Amino acid sequence: MTELERHSYDVVVIGAGGAGLRAAIEAREQGKRTAIVCKSLFGKAHTVMAEGGCAAAMGNANSNDNWQVHYRDTMRGGKFLNNWRMAELHAQEAPDRVWELETYGALFDRTPDGRISQRNFGGHTYPRLAHVGDRTGLELIRTLQQKIVSLQQEDFQATGDYEANLKVYAECTVTELLKDNTAGDSAAISGAFGYWRESGRFILFDAPAVILATGGVGKSFKVTSNSWEYTGDGHALAMRAGATLINMEFIQFHPTGMVWPPSVKGILVTESVRGDGGVLKNSEGKRFMFDYVPDVFRAQYAETEEEADRWYKDADNNRRPPELLPRDEVARAINSEVKAGRGTPHGGVFLDVSSRLPAEEITRRLPSMHHQFKELADVDITAEPMEVGPTCHYVMGGVEVDPDTASSVVPGLFAAGEVAGGMHGSNRLGGNSLSDLLVFGRRAGSGAAMYVDSLGAERPKIAEADVDAAAADALAPFELEGGENPYTIHQELQQAMNDLVGIIRKAEEMEQALARLAEFRGRIAKMTVEGHRQFNPGWHLALDLRNMLTVSECVAKAALERQESRGGHTRDDFPGMNAEWRKLLLVCGLNADGSVNVARKDQIPMREDLMELFELDELKKYLTEEELPA
Ligand code: FAD
């Protein structure tokens, strides 16, 4: 029998970013004993890195904004592949979730008349991002943590124990989900297995409901804005538990990551720089984005620099600058400029805010960016342009969930935030992640609480044999001698994904990628980790690597299958969007041998009243003849 510590909860939330914290708050408020488990320090999650803001149609900066406009923008950004019900709930509920944060203690930047200030971002018709300078994620996490502390104080008053109903297990990695297999095919979640990163000791959670809120997958790619935790654990855990992933071919390459110096390549340069007036120029000094406005967006974007510049002062009577096209369009444009030999000395393009705003305005609106470039690249962005280029930033794909409850196909398993799929379709608009976390985090917490209530006294049970198997799997890298170290394989995997399944894709390169991934599978099975279980980064990486491999296989297989270009999936060999493909979702599942299968599934047609929010001419650009309203 495996030696471990054991805890029992109603709901276990894996991940302490915005989605996980909001889910945990909801589950606890609905009376459920809840654990939050996170592999990083509490407070260190991607959410904290979010700079630009949280999209919510509050109409503070432009009273024409409302949920219908936000819905339309989100569907356009995702090129109509989004799960329309998720996009609807998101647009409707985001303003309430932002207001609610202020009741928890958040303080957003203000308009002169005291309302929450909202800024421009790519793809959003009106200024819509509620923000705190360029440190919005920090405020969001700070506030959610503060709410958790206040709930713990309530619990202390009632029980004498701060952690009676809500406890955080930080620096603790979950490696496996457990199910009650006595129920056959409908086996429900019974708990989660993991280890403390510091001591390497095992920990087991008995719980009928698990909410995955583990964030993204960026560490499978070489150039990324993501930090070390984003190894696709939740995606892989869900698949091993029998859940399905959708939209995995859609990876967002943010157009503006730092390209220099090499040690910081990929670090994000927030879209707020462009939202606040920054422009992109090539080595010839040309504002090149005017050459890259696709037909589907032509009516909404300015054709001259003069009109684009007027828009910042008078958005109602001018069209938007093309620098604010959705991210996929801007990333491809930068890629093309660099390929055409018009790049900067370090292989990017110039992003210039210094000639557009006074220095004190730049340091006030973009304090983190100013600091980041000064410290990391010795560049003063108030005096000279930045060099930027695309960086792997966000995965649109994730666990296939029910929009209203965030439940997966596995009873008791829920997912919210970046680990869930569907909401953003083929491309996410900036700012729509923070609002997604709050809207669907809350719904996941409530969905899990309802599920627990439906079970009554009889709860799924954990089999000791499954615990022993999870422990054996976790320790496997210590068992072999003379194998490869995980760092080498990780580097090669990242390089292969970057080069062969990156921003522009071709069938033969993706086939090569799949051959490399099959080779990595064999090498990962024979990896060796030196040393002991006490804080051993090599071991941690070895465990994460299995997840990165599964996720990479999903991305490569789905990308090879989808024979069109849409959002975060650009095929050199199939350059256009194809309305027939829009009707199809690619669903990834796991075979018994651990390899990935991809199946096609029809999209559910959009509800009629939502369809009526669009002009027929616009729908014609995306939908097939049969799908168009009569
Ligand atoms: P995260 O915040 O990523 O948290 C994941 C959590 O899961 C962490 O606590 C991690 O430790 C934990 N975890 C992972 N695996 C395990 C495991 N196996 N066991 C236990 N715990 C685990 N979006 C916007 O809307 N606006 C922005 O301005 C914006 N700016 C961004 C800037 C940067 C630099 C980056 C990287 C992203 C930005 N995004 C932005 C995207 C957004 O921040 C993320 O999509 C979002 O924060 C994801 O939140 P989450 O709650 O899903 O997961």
7 is catalytic: no
**For residue 458, is pLDDT > 90?**
no
Long-range CB contacts (within 8 A, 24+) of 338-344: 338/389, 342/282, 342/283, 342/284, 342/286, 342/288, 343/282, 343/283, 343/389, 344/259, 344/283, 344/387
**Ligand 1 center to 327 CA (angstroms):** 18
Reply yes or no on whether the pLDDT at 182 is more than 90: no
Alpha carbon distance 187, 204 (integer Å): 19
Measured in angstroms, how far is the CA atom of residue 215 from the centroid of ligand 1? 5
Considering the candidates 70, 254, 365, 490, report the single residue annotated as catalytic: 254
pLDDT band at 264 (very low <50, low <70, confident <90, very high): confident
Q: 255 CA distance to ligand 1 centroid (A)? A: 19
Task: Please give the DSSP secondary-structure letter assigned to residue 419.
Answer: G
How would you label 412-427 residue by residue, b for 16+ Cβ within 10 Å and e otherwise?
A: bbbbbbbbbbbbbbbb
Query: Is 529's C-beta closer than 6 angstroms to any atom of ligand 1?
Result: no
Task: Look at residue 313 and tell me whether its pLDDT is greater than 90.
Answer: no
> 69-119: per-residue pLDDT in tens?
999 999 999 999 999 999 999 999 999 999 999 999 999 999 999 999 999
Q: What is the mean pLDDT of residues 381-396?
A: 94
Residue of 163, 115, 178 whose CA lies nearest to 412: 178
Amino acid symbol at 205: F
Q: Both tokens of residue 191?
A: 């708990």
ipTM: 0.99
Mean pLDDT of 174-192: 90
Confidence of residue 212 (pLDDT cuts 50, 70, 90): very high
**What pLDDT does 184 receive?**
67
Mean pLDDT of 319-344: 92
Q: How much is the pLDDT for 185?
A: 63
Q: Indicate if the pLDDT at residue 262 is higher than 90.
A: no
Give the pLDDT score at 565: 96
Which atom belonging to ligand 1 lies closest to the Cα atom of 435? 25
Q: Does 232 sit in the ligand 1 pocket, CB within 6 Å?
A: no
Residue length, the chain?
Answer: 630
Q: What percent of the chain has pLDDT over 70?
A: 100
**Active-site residue 532, yes or no?**
no
Residues 180 and 188: beta-carbon distance below 8 Å = yes
Contacts of 51 (CB under 8 A, 6+ apart): 134, 135, 136, 137, 268, 270, 272, 368, 369
pLDDT value for 456: 84
pTM (2 d.p.): 0.94
Per-residue pLDDT reduced to its tens digit, 440-449: 999 999 999 9
Mean residue pLDDT of the chain comes to: 95
Residue 282, token pair as written in the block: 């090539």
Tell me the per-residue pLDDT of 549-586, one tens digit each, with 9 for 90 and over. 999 999 999 999 999 999 999 999 999 999 999 999 99
pLDDT at 173 over 70: yes
* Alpha-carbon gap, residue 624 to 250, rounded angstroms: 21
pLDDT, tens digit, 9 for 90 and up, residues 510-553? 999 999 999 999 999 999 999 999 999 999 999 999 999 999 99
Find the mean pLDDT for residues 209-222: 97
Per-residue confidence (pLDDT) for residue 161, from 0 to 100: 98
Atom of ligand 1 nearest to the CA of 394: 45
Ligand 1 center from residue 563 Cα (angstroms): 30
Smallest CA-to-CA distance from 512 within 502, 520, 500 is with 500
Question: What local confidence, expressed as pLDDT, does residue 250 receive?
Answer: 98
Mean pLDDT of 457-484: 93
Q: Where does the pLDDT of residue 483 fall: very low under 50, low under 70, confident under 90, or very high at 90 and above?
A: confident
428 pLDDT above the threshold of 90:
yes
Locate 177 and state its tokens: 């989900």
Atom of ligand 1 nearest to the CA of 267: 34
Any atom of ligand 1 within 6 Å of the Cβ of 431: yes
pLDDT of amino acid 463: 95
User: Ligand 1: does its nearest atom lie under 6 Å from the Cβ of 89?
Assistant: no
In 534-582, beta strands by DSSP E? none
pLDDT, position 25:
98
- Give the torsion sign (CA, 213, 214, 215, 217): negative
Check 72, 197, 274, 442 and give the catalytic one. 274
Residue whose CA lies nearest to ligand 1 atom number 37: 50
Closest CA to ligand 1's atom 40: 50
